[in-house]
Amino acid sequence: MRHALVTGGAGFIGSHLVDRLLIEGWRVTVADNFDPFYPRPIKERNVEPHRQRASYRLVEVDLRDLSGLRQLFDGPYDAIVHLAAKAGVRPSIADPISYQEVNVRGTQNLLELAREQDVKQFVFASSSSVYGVNPNVPWREEDHVLQPISPYASTKVSGELLGHVYSHLYGIRFIGLRFFTVYGPRQRPDLAIHKFARLMLEGKPIPVFGDGSTRRDYSYVDDIVTGIRAAMDYDRTPYEVVNLGNDRTVTLMEMIGGLESALGVTATIERHPEQPGDVPQTWASLEKARRMLGYDPRTNYADGVRRFASWIEGVRAASEVS
């Protein structure tokens, strides 16, 4: 039985990955500190079905606690998938030091443990935010002129560079995956699709920053998990950074229109000035992901947002009954 350590495995993307790994017969150890960035009960619901599995273990630990992390290593791992991080562009501007401590030192701690324990496969969740204001779209991994414009984005660049160091010095295969605006069931409540849907269903206005022309490459969570799984099995080169997106951009107003259609409600828009740290567009080139990982996203935005709408309506119905 293969064994994976998944950090952030109680969160949005992490819990979906754990679903897949348990179905495939992996043994899974999850490290999560249940950061109060959003309510703990949300993550508890994510992991509830996992707790019933004998091949699953959850350890509540902070990435900054190196001695605490060592308790995770009670046997060999075939792969570490490092998804945990302090998330969010705007909050990182308000609290840059804690983002540096968690996202950079936490990644360093895990790489040190991978070195000590001879773990040879390390998959790291990076972000499209590393590209910053790069006007050359679609964004390609070969473009080394990164222009991050938030502390969060800078920590993801640092994580990629730390991975290169440990790959070069210690033979750890490091695959950095630059995620592009992941959405779907269990999405974090602070992210736009989830936040807007909740406000729309409550009959409240949604805050729109700027004129609505910003564009995002929205990526459905099932496609992203498929890309992560391919990275876990990748065994050719020692270090790679790869985009995982959907290869199609959607404007903010198109995103809202898709939600209106899926939820059957009309949004009331509340206009605000553009926010510092936000980039005008994200757009992933998937040439490398297709070539290297066989990555081929199958879910377009209209289908994905319908699945998300079905999930959030089910969550609301369940909360009303309880």
pLDDT tens digits in sequence order for the chain, 322 residues long: 999 999 999 999 999 999 999 999 999 999 999 999 999 999 999 999 999 999 999 999 999 999 999 989 888 999 999 999 999 998 999 999 999 999 999 999 999 999 999 999 999 999 999 999 888 889 999 987 688 999 999 999 999 999 999 999 999 999 999 999 999 999 999 999 999 999 999 999 999 998 889 999 999 999 999 999 999 999 999 999 999 999 899 999 999 999 999 999 999 999 999 887 778 899 999 999 999 999 999 999 999 999 999 999 999 888 777 6
- If we measure between CA atoms, which residue out of 157, 152, 159 comes closest to residue 174? 159
Q: Where are the domains of the chain?
A: 3-183+219-247+283-299
Is the whole model's pTM more than 0.85, yes or no? Answer: yes
Q: Is 321 helix (H, G, I), strand (E, B) or coil?
A: helix
Give the whole-angstrom CA distance, residue 267 versus residue 252: 13
CATH number of 3-183+219-247+283-299: 3.40.50.720
Task: Report the b/e string of 226-255 with b at 16+ CB within 10 A.
Answer: bbbbbbbebeeeebbbbbbbbbbbbebebb
Catalytic residue among 56, 77, 99, 152: 152
Sign of the Cα torsion 220, 225, 230, 231 reads positive
Cα 176–182–186 angle (5° rounding)? 120
Active site residue 152: yes
